[in-house]
Structures are given as C-alpha cells and as structure tokens.
Structure 1
Amino acid sequence: MPSPRPLDAVVVGAGPNGLAAAVTLARAGLHVRVLERREQIGGGLSSAELTLPGFVHDVGSAIHPLGFASPAFREWPLHAFGLTWVQPDAPFAHVLPDGTGVVVERDLDVTARNFGVDGAAWRALFGPLVAQWRGLLDDVLRPLPRLPRHPLTLARFGLRGVPPASLSARLLRTRAARAAWAGLAAHANLPLSTPGTGAAALVLGSLAHTVGWPFPRDGAQALADALAAYLRFLGGEIETGVEVRSPGDLPPARAVLVDSSPGVLLDLLGDRVTPGYRAWLRRYRYGPGLLKLDYALSGPVPWRDSFLCRAGTVHLGGTLEDIARAEAEVAREVTPERPYVLAAQQTLFDPSRAPKGQHTFWAYAHVPPGTPDSYAGTIEAQIERAAPGFRDLVLARRITNARQLQALSPVFQGGDVNGGRGDLWGLLARPVPSPTPYRTPVPGLYLCSSATPPGGGIHGMCGYWAARAALQDVFGLE
C-alpha cells in the first residue's frame, strides 16, 4: 500500500532510467513513487519465459557492458539486493563469411597480438581510452554541452569517434580487424558512413578491453529487480498497472519525472507549453527498428568455428563492406539479403536460464519500418550459414517485431531500441537543444528517458542526470 507520507516526486515508468531517477531522488532523502503501466517492471530491462517453460529470455537488452560500468550503478550497492554479474570467457566475437570466428579478448595486448599486422593500429585506437576508461565514461555519459572533466581523454575519443566508422576503418588493413570494428560500430543502428558511428565502436571496444561485456545472472530482470529492491530499501514505492495519460492521472508531488517518449511527454504537458517547444518534440527523430528472435535450443549453437563458444556476444554479418552495405540498405528502407545480426548465447555461461543441457539464444537484426515477421527466415539463414544444423536444435522460437517493442515501451518508437536516432545532431538535441534537456517549460516536470542524454543503452544515466536537475531546481539540493 502507498505510504500516507506526502510525495516529493513521482516517476512515470519503471524502465532502467525511471528506476535510476527514483533511486537518485530517494538517496537524497525524498519520498518517491514510481508508476508503471505494466504489471512487470523493467521495460527493456526485463526477462520472461518467451518460448517454453524453464527457458528465461531477455525481452529487450541482453548484454550490459554499460550497465556494469555505469557511474551510477557502480556507486550503488546493487550486489546487496541480489545482483550478480556473469563474465563470458571473451566479450564478443565476429563471424567472417567463411565461418571463421574473430574473438576479441578482454586483454587488449592479447587481442592486438591476435590481429597480427593490425595489432599496433588496434592498440592505438583503444589503448589511450582503455587506460582512462572511467574518465571517458564520466564525460560521454553526461549531457554533451557540459565542459568535460577529462578534456584530453575526450579529445582523443573525439578524434576517432566523430568521423564515420567507415573512414576510421582505413586505419586497419586486415579483413578480421576491419570486420570486428564494423561489428562494434553497427550497434549505433546507423549507416557506417554517418559521422559519429566511430564513437559507438570506441566506447564498446574500450569496455570490452576493461570491464568486459557481462550480463546479470538469471536474466536482465535481475538488474531491474535489484534497482527496485534498493529503491524500496530507501523508502521508495513502486505501483504497477497504473496508466498515466494526462496530468490528472498523477498524484500530487513537487516533481514529476517521465521515463517515456517525447510523445507521451507532450500528452502530460498539455497546453502548458509554447508551440515552439511542442514542435521540437514532434520533430524528434527515431532510427530504424529491429526484428528480434528468441530461441529455446536442445543444445549449444553448432558454430563452424567452435572458438566462438568463448564469447557471450556474437556479431554475424561478414566483412566491413558487407555490414556497411546492410546498414545502408536498412537506412534506405530496403531489407538486406544478408543482414547484420547481433546475437547472445548467455546459457553457455549462465546455465540457470534453461533446463539442464539446453540453451537459449537471442538475436536481432536492424530492419526498415513495416518489415514482416517472415523476415525472421532471412535472419535465421544468416545464423545457419555460420552454424550448420542450428535449425535442427530449435525447440521453439519467438519473434518480436517493431510494433511489439513499441507496445513494450513507448520509448521504443518504431522499434528503435536506442530511444531515438543516435547521430551527432540526435545526441546534441535530445530531445531539444539545451544544456539541461531534461527540463521542460513546466516547472517541476522533467523527461528522464533515453530520449535525453546520453541516449540509448542500459546505464541509467538519463534518469540519474534528470534527477540531479530536479534535486537542484525543485529541492535546492546538489
């Protein structure tokens, strides 16, 4: 039951950013209530038996290097509330057209040696950032207009991150290293010719060589549940099954933080803002969606190259040129014949997610709007080429399309799991050009979703920074 104590703040949405915002406020001693329209908390950070009983699948995000490295999550005692991280033997691997696996190790020097003639170039790309990874994250996981705390590190990052990934790839000569770089950059869900796509490769690659690419034991839901348990420990409340469509649906509170889309924010703002601000929110742009597949398997994936079993995450898509072509086709609203596929095989390292001897497999591809579920066959063919006999192991399959992702959370408009287009302008004006974009023209009302800086990913920093703004503006706290 809700506490009779007056509320200081209400958070709309129990996704990772909403929960992070609520925890930040509660840590300051405020009475906070989270309202979630679904019965299950977590949003894109949730898990469920999507295929067969006993098989636990991640509904949205599956691998969480940013969650493990998040400045907010690092500071909070989430381990005391049931969170345990699983580290695969290797962070990620990439499959070349002949089925050969390129495995990127956590150790930068080992990876550089494995890349042979490209070892020095790979070390030059990532070495300076690996050495200063905490400072790098402190600067990239905050509003971009702010003065950097680590200007030299950020300058090094910008030198390689601002150019398109396809341009930075020219520093590498071998097919293996160039493909691994492209697989990292394609996480941006943009053509590799887009300025700023190199930044995705640098951040994710630097994390691979520092904290790894871990995931929560028992499913992504474990991270959401740990955040919720910590919030309740601090005196916060969570109500599920509560739909918030208008200001009248909100209980009285001094501050309201919205972990949802700019469209939902518009409904809550009503006629209390200028036409200009409403126009900015309406112009907010999203990237392509995705088609996601969850599998229950009778055994591990039969990769042509068994070395791929060392990695928790596997990129399929071929060479740099293949991936660049596929992502460019998606941007032109053409479905690629050989898509870039991002896959995760958690049960190799966390057997708690499936019955003994059986496995889960998680995979998705970027797709244009309106792509039918039948495209799952094309994605599956890409997996089968790298792992002949894969289809024979399938006990059950669940397809999640862009429309279903948007139903899961309005943040994923059109199936864009990054919560908005991640090009340079999309990051600088997210959702409006402002040094503190979490604030709205209505005093006490804030946006705290991935439609604000630093954008998509499971790190909670959008909620953290929005809550910090509310603490300063409304409650006079730093």
Structure 2
Amino acid sequence: MPDIPGAGPVPTAPDVVIVGTGPNGLAAGVTLARAGLRVELYERDGQIGGGLRTASLFDSDIVHDICSAVHPMAAASRFFREFDLAARGVELLSPEVSYAHPLDDGRAALAFRDLDATCAGLGRDGDRWRALMRPLAEHSTGTVDFVLSGQRALPRDLVAPLLLARGMLVHGTRLTRRRFRDEPARALLTGVAAHGVGKLPSLASGAVALLLGHLAHTGAGWPLPRGGSARIADALAADIIAHGGVFHTGVEVTDLAELPAAKAVLLDVSPKGLRALAGARLPSRYARALDAFRYGPGAAKVDFLVSEPIPWAAPEVGTAGTVHLGGTQAEMFRQETLTARGVRTDEPFVLLVDPAVTDPGRARGGVRPVWAYAHVPHGDPTDPGDLVRDRIERYAPGFRATVLAQRSVSASGLERYNPNYVGGDIGAGAMTLGQSVLRPTARFDSYRTPLPGVYLCSASTPPGPSVHGMSGYLAALSALRREFAIRTPPPLGPVETGMFTK
C-alpha cells in the first residue's frame, strides 16, 4: 500500500473534497488531481478502497478479498484502459476458464476465454452460443463504452446498442427459456444474468448477461489482480498522492458542514448517505426522489480458509476463476425471483472464487482462501455460514472436511461494514432497467445535486455497480466543467504526453 498521508494540516485549502475512497471515489480523485486541483479525500475506515480491500483474516501469510475479487470491468472500462493498471505494476491474471457452472448430474458448463472451446463443450447449443457472443466480442469496446457511458450521448459504435437490444429482448425475457436446447448452455448464461442480483429473467439481467458473458471470451476474460483487489486501490491512491492529493483515513464525516471549504465536494456514498450528510439542506422534491430510490437484494459473505483445492464432483470446475452455484435455469429463475421479493430460501444463488486457481501465490503449503457470497433478501440478518457451506458441499462433496476456519457476514452486517451497501445491496441500488440509467433520480446530469458544488459519484449513479471507476470519472468530468471551466479531460496514463486547458 502506498504511504498515505494521515489527517493533518495541508499547505493550502483544497479545491475539491471527496468523501469515500471506494473505486469511484478514487477514480474521481485521480481525475481531479490530474487536472491540477488540490484534492483531499476522507475515509471513515482505517484502510482505503471500499470494495477493493484485501486483508489477512486467519493466517498472516494468506490474504482474503473482503468485498470484490474478480474484475472484468477493471480490464475493460474506459477509465482503467486509460489509467493502465499494468504499467503501474498491477497484474491482472486471467484464467483460461473465466467461469464454470456445475450441475447436479455431474456435468459442468465451462466458459473458456476461447470462444470456440466454449462452443465445443456446449454440444448442439455451441452454434447458438457463438451467434450470441461473437458479435458482441467483435464490438466489445463499443459495447462496454456504451453500457458504461450513462447513455447520455450518441455512442461511437452504433452497432453495439443494437446488439444489446436484440439480445436483451430474448435473454431478458421468458423467450430465453427456448433459446438453448440443453441445460448446460441455459444454466451457463443464467448464472451470469444472476450477477444483476434481482428478479430473473428481466431486461436488466439480460443486459448484465450479455455484457459480462461476452467479456468472458475476450483477451482479458474475468481476471483477478495478483495479490488481491487492494492492489488496484493502491495504484489509484499512489497516483493521487503523486499529484498532490491528501488522504484522511479513520475520519467519519457525518455532516457536510464538517468538511473544509472547497469549490467542489464529491460524495462516494449512497442516496441514503447523501440524505444523512445533507440533512435539511436538500430541496424537498429532490429529497423525496432520493427516498424513493430502490435498493436491491442483499449479499451474505463467507470467507473460508481451506486445507486443499475444492473437491468438485466435476473436476474441471476446479480450473475456473469463478464458479456459479445455482443449479438449473429454472431453479435460478425461482430462487432469484423469490429473493428479490424478500423471501429467504435454503438454496440461494452462490458465487464462489478460489483465488489460488488463478493466482497460485495466494496459497501457502496447500492452505488457501475461498471467497463466496449468497444472494439473500434485503437486510437479511441471518448468519450465512452454514447455508453457503452446504451449497458448496452439494457440488463438492467433502468440502466441509477441508474447512480450517471461516468468517461470515450477513447482509445487514455488510451495511454496518460499508454504509454504501444498504441492506447488503452490493450494487448500491436495484438493477432495474429504468434505475440502471436514471440513478439515483431522473436528472440529465445524474452526478450533480441541487446543492451548489456538491456531486454524487458512487455506484448509485450511472453506470452503476462493478469496479470500473466510471461513476467517479464521469462525476469528476461534470465537476470540472461546471465548477472549474475545464472542458478537456486530463490524461490518465502513467506518462502524461499532453496538456489540458482551463
């Protein structure tokens, strides 16, 4: 981790104050500091990063990703493409099998980075999978940039939104039940759709399936950072510090009045957090709109320390970077829809990562971390330990015997850990089609609040959840234009080759 200055006097008053150092707060900090502004960042926790934290939980030699672990969007988004993680020493490791989906009959569907290998494994559904994914992969940059743009401008690649729309009308509706002939292909795509954490099927989940699904077959696939997710946060923080930024960690801001005077304030917080910080300062109409913002189902997390690789019934699952435990398409439709309605089930969708599969350095003498979370009703206080362990055991008999230690965090506990995860909603807002674009309210500039100089830059703004940095980046560009008359985005790469004008 870079040497982060603590709270203390700074030479001059800041131009910009940022509250929250999740990936979007850090992306905003990089962008604004690169524009030559004096930036200060406040973090209530002792460690920066938000969803990008890594820590030793049971063994000092083995680290666990506390929130996010796998980062396809960090490899694909415009912000990170320009920031260039590789040039800053962050190595994104890509497994040959991006994700796997085991079934009860001993079969498993595998999404290789090699599209042809994936299609070969799907038998008579292979051609249909290729027809769905290849056009998106051929327009991958355009597809990613359109989805992560906030959809406020005409896309550069006009084909990308047409491909998405066509695919969503099939795979975001009940038509998807008939698209593939056999269960492996149906389950393989539905497991990706479940990353939308909501009712299945839906147009929003269809978009998620197409976006993440095609990225599994691109060069980077679904990568993990060598050494853990905190490496990404460290690289962002190092750049901010190199451009004069100052961090205040272990400082909880409870009211906007506690912040130093600055021309712009960017808040990497949820709408609920904005309401708390702003209090009665917000116009009543805007406050009511924030109160109407919908949060989605929760996630309940379990970290395991195990003595050996997971004993999957289908051994090939052990080659995947990510594993979806959801059963058949019909089972996932039922479970995810019940969860979205607030009904707790005994067989929830579970997303699992065995990091040492992709990054062998994460294991020590056979002992390794396992990262897993279940989708549960919003705010569920139930300890998920037994639930998740049993879910893994169903597809990996003998897993229980390998567990040396475990730590469970309920959905309500996730909110206590990070207030942005309201009710355990790690997406910072329900992923419905309308709320994917109009986050958190119906405003053309979603980042600008009615308060002078105050902007929202969290995942509760477009384009929404995942570690892509675009919410912070786009909020920072809005603040640069409106508060500082800077209209040319600053360069983000490790070597600055041009100048921007104020």
* TM band (smaller chain): over 0.9
Deviates more, 1:408-417 or 1:137-146: 137-146
Q: Distance in 2 between matches of 1:41 and 1:372?
A: 26
- Alpha-carbon shift at residue 169 of structure 1 (Å): 4.2
TM-score (norm 1): 0.97
Asked whether the equivalents of residues 43 and 408 of structure 1 are also in contact (C-alpha less than 8 Å), the reply is no
Q: 2:71 aligns with which of 64, 79, 82?
A: 64
Secondary structure of the structure 1 residue equivalent to 2:135: helix
- Alpha-carbon shift at residue 2 of structure 1 (Å): 4.7
Deviates more, 1:116-125 or 1:265-274: 265-274
Distance 1:467 1:119, change over 3 A: same
Task: Specify the alignment match of 1:360 in structure 2.
Answer: 369
Residue 333 in 1 paired to residue 332 in 2? no
Task: Specify the alignment match of 2:497 in structure 1.
Answer: none
Task: Specify the alignment match of 1:460 in structure 2.
Answer: 469
Deviations 1:93-150 (A, max 9, x none): 0011223221110011221222121112111111111001011111100112432222
Distance 1:94 1:29, change over 3 A: same
Deviations 1:242-291 (A, max 9, x none): 11111221111110000011122123333333211000011111001011
Task: Specify the alignment match of 1:33 in structure 2.
Answer: 40
Residue 475 in 1 paired to residue 484 in 2? yes
Q: Distance in 2 between matches of 1:180 and 1:121?
A: 13
Asked whether the equivalents of residues 26 and 236 of structure 1 are also in contact (C-alpha less than 8 Å), the reply is yes
- Alpha-carbon shift at residue 159 of structure 1 (Å): 1.6
Residue 99 in 1 paired to residue 128 in 2? no
Moved over 6 A (4+): none
Distance 1:22 1:312, change over 3 A: same
Distance 1:343 1:166, change over 3 A: farther
Deviates more, 1:114-123 or 1:409-418: 114-123
Asked whether the equivalents of residues 339 and 365 of structure 1 are also in contact (C-alpha less than 8 Å), the reply is yes
Q: How does 1:70-469 map to 2 (within 5 A)?
A: 70-162=77-169, 164=172, 166-210=174-218, 211-469=220-478
Q: Distance in 2 between matches of 1:346 and 1:205?
A: 20
- Alpha-carbon shift at residue 375 of structure 1 (Å): 4.2
Deviations 1:405-424 (A, max 9, x none): 11222211000000000011
Structure 1: gaps of 5 or more residues: none
The percentage of aligned residue pairs carrying the same residue is: 45
Q: 1:51 aligns with which of 55, 58, 62?
A: 58
Deviations 1:423-453 (A, max 9, x none): 1121132001112100011121000000000
Q: Distance in 2 between matches of 1:334 and 1:153?
A: 36
Deviates more, 1:284-293 or 1:334-343: 334-343
Deviates more, 1:12-21 or 1:26-35: 26-35
Q: Distance in 2 between matches of 1:170 and 1:29?
A: 55
Secondary structure of the structure 2 residue equivalent to 1:270: helix
Asked whether the equivalents of residues 52 and 396 of structure 1 are also in contact (C-alpha less than 8 Å), the reply is no
Q: Distance in 2 between matches of 1:189 and 1:169?
A: 19
Deviations 1:295-340 (A, max 9, x none): 0001010111111121110011111011111111212222222221
Q: Distance in 2 between matches of 1:214 and 1:345?
A: 12
Aligned AA (1:93): A
Distance 1:75 1:370, change over 3 A: closer
Asked whether the equivalents of residues 165 and 182 of structure 1 are also in contact (C-alpha less than 8 Å), the reply is no
Secondary structure of the structure 2 residue equivalent to 1:196: helix
Task: Specify the alignment match of 1:23 in structure 2.
Answer: 30
Secondary structure of the structure 2 residue equivalent to 1:420: coil
Asked whether the equivalents of residues 301 and 384 of structure 2 are also in contact (C-alpha less than 8 Å), the reply is no
Secondary structure of the structure 1 residue equivalent to 2:312: coil
Deviates more, 1:156-165 or 1:125-134: 156-165
Aligned AA (1:14): T
Q: Distance in 1 between matches of 2:289 and 2:379?
A: 25
Distance 1:374 1:262, change over 3 A: closer
Asked whether the equivalents of residues 99 and 321 of structure 2 are also in contact (C-alpha less than 8 Å), the reply is yes
Distance 1:374 1:443, change over 3 A: closer
- Alpha-carbon shift at residue 88 of structure 1 (Å): 1.6
Aligned AA (1:150): D
Structure 2: gaps of 5 or more residues: 1-7, 488-502
Deviates more, 1:163-172 or 1:361-370: 163-172
- Alpha-carbon shift at residue 370 of structure 1 (Å): 5.0
Aligned AA (2:369): T
Asked whether the equivalents of residues 99 and 385 of structure 1 are also in contact (C-alpha less than 8 Å), the reply is no
Deviates more, 1:282-291 or 1:354-363: 354-363
Aligned AA (2:202): T
Aligned AA (2:385): A
Q: Distance in 2 between matches of 1:85 and 1:193?
A: 31
Asked whether the equivalents of residues 2 and 237 of structure 1 are also in contact (C-alpha less than 8 Å), the reply is no
Distance 1:35 1:450, change over 3 A: same
- Alpha-carbon shift at residue 229 of structure 1 (Å): 0.8
Q: Distance in 2 between matches of 1:290 and 1:170?
A: 30
Q: Distance in 1 between matches of 2:485 and 2:257?
A: 26
TM-score (norm 2): 0.92
Deviations 1:68-87 (A, max 9, x none): 11210111143344311111
Q: Distance in 2 between matches of 1:371 and 1:254?
A: 40
Q: Distance in 2 between matches of 1:409 and 1:372?
A: 15
Please report the RMSD computed on the Cα atoms of aligned residues, expressed in angstroms: 1.5
Asked whether the equivalents of residues 296 and 378 of structure 2 are also in contact (C-alpha less than 8 Å), the reply is no
Distance 1:272 1:333, change over 3 A: closer
- Alpha-carbon shift at residue 358 of structure 1 (Å): 1.2
Asked whether the equivalents of residues 25 and 457 of structure 2 are also in contact (C-alpha less than 8 Å), the reply is yes
